[in-house]
Amino acid sequence: MDQAEKRELLRKDRQRVWHPFTQMKDYENKDHLLIEKAEGVFLYDADGNRYYDTVSSWWVNVHGHGHPRIKQAIVRQLDETDHIMFSGFTHRPAIELADKLLAIAPPGLGKVFYSDNGSTAVEVALKMSFQYWRHTGRPGKTKFAYLENGYHGDTLGAVSVGGVELFHAAFRPLLFDAYRLPAPQVREWVDGRPTPEAARTCVDEAIEPVRRLFETSAGEIAGLVVEPMIQAAGGMKMHPPEYIQKLRDLCTQYDVHLIADEVAVGFGRTGTMFACEHAGVTPDLLCLSKGLTAGIVPLSATLCTDRIYEAFYDDYETLKTFFHGHSFTGNPPACAVALESLRLFEEDRVLERARETSEALRVQLRRLGSFRHVANVRQLGMVAAFELMADPAAGKPYPFAERRGYKLYWEALKEGLILRPLGDTIYYWLPLVTTPEQAADIVDRTCAVLGRLGYR
Amino acid sequence: MDQAEKRELLRKDRQRVWHPFTQMKDYENKDHLLIEKAEGVFLYDADGNRYYDTVSSWWVNVHGHGHPRIKQAIVRQLDETDHIMFSGFTHRPAIELADKLLAIAPPGLGKVFYSDNGSTAVEVALKMSFQYWRHTGRPGKTKFAYLENGYHGDTLGAVSVGGVELFHAAFRPLLFDAYRLPAPQVREWVDGRPTPEAARTCVDEAIEPVRRLFETSAGEIAGLVVEPMIQAAGGMKMHPPEYIQKLRDLCTQYDVHLIADEVAVGFGRTGTMFACEHAGVTPDLLCLSKGLTAGIVPLSATLCTDRIYEAFYDDYETLKTFFHGHSFTGNPPACAVALESLRLFEEDRVLERARETSEALRVQLRRLGSFRHVANVRQLGMVAAFELMADPAAGKPYPFAERRGYKLYWEALKEGLILRPLGDTIYYWLPLVTTPEQAADIVDRTCAVLGRLGYR
């Protein structure tokens, strides 16, 4: 677009738009990046500059941008039906998607409840779990347990089980009371993985408080919410699969629902279709969104066991209905996109190809080891992360006010990379179609940016 | 589709899908209606039966189904960009839509914050209001006021300000404390409107408790949430515009945010673009969704004053950022659809034409007056409602267990009408493109159904 048009759009953006998770004053003297085109793993700004979408547009994109099959799927669906209500009515795309999701999800899940985004998928899970215990004669089970550093969305129910103080502390008076558990913490990484000793210590330390809590209080706990394998917004903190296995065991033993929030980690990002597969466990409730539609349009789903579903199935007069719904529940175009995405997963062998890239990425990441202030380099599938630290050996971070991550973000844009930081945690969250060559190029550019900022 | 395919889809629906706001046991011996095609104001099931979409697919559809211009808008947008993240980045459709929304919204609103559905639009408003008072030196203002019969969504923050006991009571232990105010209640309707006397009484009775609450407690109240003109899910309860005017006055006088939830009533449904226009007031926060995209894809927006925005605008270190966001915030295809819908509003003179239909509907509705058990026939724009009652003169409803509305719903389907009830409240929520002839046909069929069920 021409410069006048660009300036006019950016003027209106500044005048009219409040961007999410953004201190707008950060943009007092600079503009948001105006994106004009998106193709494959690249975004292009209004001046034609190209950027690797290194964060998959907030962890959503799967098959790259502008995939022709995705577009065709929307068009085909719109020729049949656009949106129709999902209460009293049903339609092919929502039925086929539910069937498909249950076929690929961890075994033992039985029903699909649709909504629009990750927050609502989690709220649905919380409300289902809460009501389940009322309907099955244990109305004292009204509380939830969650992890430090956990993030499950921004609606107030989801915030109540959120463990990221920066995002959540301000809203305390509006939140329900919940049990906060320490997050699993891996202290030593080699080649992007926890050392065996660090993995054992991590699991032992983190699981013991869960056991103690359940011993004393399981009678009042409905469910435990967890992001399996990676606590994403809380700082891309990864844990060993044994932690999820032991959570599953404790939840089963103490009659607590295991609620797996795979909104971020689902759909291949960690190397398996769902992150729970690393641990070989099935949660009682599974929350999905983001990659569900390949990251193109809003849609989410909460999968639950038939046992939970059946606790709501009764004569109308018993008032056991799950009174929850959103207007666009089961939106047909969104369901059609999700179905097409799952077809692409199979036909294009997306998981296998992503595995090749993630192995190539593992090798490349070794190069970050040469930077003295780069710590905790870790990787799972298409996700990798590290911290910028003043003194890694002493565990000493940089002062908060220096905003190291933020500065690196701006520098990386000049290098054609979107390295959106979480504080001083820098991460990749790559589209699954990223090639090994592109992954190498991304690490190359990251090293160049680090060097330019004086990191050695 | 053929019968085998239909049966197979319905079998999977039963086996795999949990429908919203539905007691699934109601479908033990019957199927959800399988919709195969949607065109204009009609839905078609798998057997080719045609139904008036009398409820606009849960109050969302505006220009009819399958509008070619809407489809073209999605396709055009997907040729440019599909979804890109909206934090740090921006794009033409979201900017232009924000600009357009603020141009047509009640004067005095300054910024647009996007999210995905009505619930999140309300949660954003609640959180903005709550944080505003903390940032401006009045951290004691942490509570909200809401109305009996009010409905603002199903996430737990929205449920906390919900006043429909049937939906909300079960979740009490998970909700924050809020002040419940009596709903405005019109006791006499003539020709679909409150009589002048009934209007005066309604406003006086409902506003006095607000005044009393604010006198004693405004110091701890952040905002008051209201659905202007029609409390929709709470039973299509309509009130005079003077009520909203007086709420505005009291909110201004006592420094309480007026939060207008126009998720359902916005975009022309009540005869004006926004329902607040009937009262000539501007809220501090305005929540929009449903009709925003003409009812085709999920999108919502929370509009706020610049005064609210500015209370968050500060150096990053002050931690005044509004830490809220959803992955699909500002989804480009959805914004493109919303923009195209607003163009159609202008080019096709949608509001003027809907006004003709709503006047024709007013005349037709007089015919319902001849049914002895039909009470409180009321109308505003494209919305009309009435109650089935055992004895209207004595204010006596039918017994709950008789499920009169529910039975009428099933009978109406045979007549090609979707009359989804709220208890024994029957309503129309017509697409704006419904013609006067279609409105007459809809009332015809309604009378036929009532007659067949033995109502006289």
- Answer for the pair A124, A284: CB distance below 8 angstroms, yes or no: no
Task: Say yes or no for a CB contact (<8 Å) between A43 and B314.
Answer: no
Domain extent at residue B304: 70-346
Residue B72: closest CA among chain A residues belongs to which residue? A75
Q: Which of B309, B329, B346 is the last residue of a domain?
A: B346
| Residue A5, in any domain of the structure | no
| Residue A20, in any domain of the structure | no
- Answer for the pair A264, A230: CB distance below 8 angstroms, yes or no: yes
Could you report the predicted ipTM of this complex, rounded to two decimals?
0.98
| Residue B25, in any domain of the structure | no
| Gap between the Cα atoms of A365 and A377, Å rounded | 8
Q: Which of B423, B387, B383, B440 is nearest to B59 (CA)?
A: B383
Chain B segment 152-171 residues within 8 A of A by beta carbon are: 153-158, 160, 166-168, 170-171
> Which of B21, B321, B326 comes nearest A324 by C-beta?
B21
**Number of other CB atoms surrounding residue B169 within 10 Å:** 13
Lowest mean pLDDT among A379-383, B60-64, B163-167, B331-335: B163-167
Say yes or no: B324 and B251 in one domain.
Answer: yes
Task: Say yes or no for a CB contact (<8 Å) between B81 and A166.
Answer: no
Report the residue of B12, B51, B85 to disrupt the A interface, i.e. the one with the largest count of A CBs within 10 Å: B85
| Gap between the Cα atoms of B56 and B67, Å rounded | 14
Q: How confident is the model at residue B169 (pLDDT cuts 50, 70, 90)?
A: confident
Q: Which of B346, B375, B393 is the last residue of a domain?
A: B346
| Gap between the Cα atoms of B360 and A339, Å rounded | 43
Averaged confidence pLDDT in chain B: 97
Please report where in the chains the tokens 């920066």 appear, as a residue.
A166
* Helix axis angle, A332-347 to A68-80, nearest 10°: 140
> Which of A38, A111, A112 comes nearest B81 by C-beta?
A38
Q: Which of A118, A162, A379, A358 is nearest to A261 (CA)?
A: A118
| Residue A438, in any domain of the structure | yes
> Which of A34, A174, A299 comes nearest B130 by C-beta?
A174
State whether residue B340 sits within 8 Å of chain A by CB: no
Say yes or no: A175 and A294 in one domain.
Answer: yes
| Residue A19, in any domain of the structure | no
| Gap between the Cα atoms of B242 and B184, Å rounded | 11
Say yes or no: A274 and A314 in one domain.
Answer: yes
**Quick check: helix, strand or coil at residue B78?**
helix
State whether residue B325 sits within 8 Å of chain A by CB: yes
Per-residue model confidence as pLDDT tens digits over B391-449: 999 999 999 999 999 999 999 999 999 999 999 999 999 999 999 999 999 999 999 99
**Quick check: helix, strand or coil at residue B181?**
strand
Q: What is the CA radius of gyration of chain A?
A: 22
pLDDT at A168: 83
Residue B44: closest CA among chain A residues belongs to which residue? A81
pLDDT at A169: 86
Q: How many CB pairs under 8 A join A and B?
A: 435
| Gap between the Cα atoms of B391 and B369, Å rounded | 14
Strands (E), A128-169: 143-147
Block means of pLDDT (10 residues each) for chain A, length 456 residues? 96 98 96 97 98 98 97 96 97 98 98 98 98 97 98 98 90 96 97 98 98 98 98 98 98 98 98 98 98 98 98 96 97 98 98 98 96 97 98 94 95 96 97 98 98 94
Say yes or no: B295 and B360 in one domain.
Answer: no
Domain CATH number, residue A395: 3.90.1150.10
Say yes or no: A107 and A218 in one domain.
Answer: yes
pTM of the model as a whole = 0.98
Say yes or no: A186 and A325 in one domain.
Answer: yes
pLDDT at B168 over 90: no
Pairwise pLDDT comparison (B242 vs B170), residue with the higher score: B242
Say yes or no: A326 and A219 in one domain.
Answer: yes
Say yes or no: A329 and A197 in one domain.
Answer: yes
Sequence length of chain B is: 456
* Phi, psi dihedrals of residue A42, rounded to the nearest 5°: -120, 145
Cα–Cα distances in angstroms (integers) from residue B322 to residues A421, B51, B100, B259, in the given order: 17, 44, 23, 18
Say yes or no: A246 and A392 in one domain.
Answer: no
Number of structural domains chain B divides into: 2
* Angular region, A230: left φ>0, alpha ψ -120 to 50, beta rest: beta
Question: What type of residue sits at position A326?
Answer: H
Chain B segment 60-89 residues within 8 A of A by beta carbon are: 60-61, 65-66, 70-71, 74-75, 78-89
Residue B5: closest CA among chain A residues belongs to which residue? A92
Q: Which of B346, B369, B389 is the last residue of a domain?
A: B346
Chain A segment 186-215 residues within 8 A of B by beta carbon are: none
Task: Say yes or no for a CB contact (<8 Å) between B75 and A75.
Answer: yes
Task: Say yes or no for a CB contact (<8 Å) between A420 and B88.
Answer: yes
| Gap between the Cα atoms of B42 and B115, Å rounded | 29
Q: Which residues of A touch B269 (CB under 8 A)?
A: none
| Residue B130, in any domain of the structure | yes
| Residue A10, in any domain of the structure | no
| Residue B120, in any domain of the structure | yes
Name the minimum distance, in Å, from the CA of A198 to any CA of chain B.
Answer: 33
- DSSP letters, B232-266, are -TTT-EE--HHHHHHHHHHHHHHT-EEEEE-TTTT
Say yes or no: A152 and A257 in one domain.
Answer: yes
pLDDT at A120: 98
- Answer for the pair B382, B17: CB distance below 8 angstroms, yes or no: no
Say yes or no: B278 and B211 in one domain.
Answer: yes
Task: Say yes or no for a CB contact (<8 Å) between A99 and B154.
Answer: no
pLDDT at B166: 85
State whether residue A95 sits within 8 Å of chain B by CB: yes
**Quick check: helix, strand or coil at residue B384?**
strand
| Gap between the Cα atoms of B397 and B423, Å rounded | 10
Say yes or no: B203 and B330 in one domain.
Answer: yes
| Gap between the Cα atoms of B44 and B33, Å rounded | 10
Q: Which of A20, A377, A307, A362 is nearest to A135 (CA)?
A: A307
Q: Judge residue B68's burial from the number of C-beta atoms within 10 Å of its C-beta, 0-12 exposed, 13-18 middle, 19 or more buried.
A: exposed
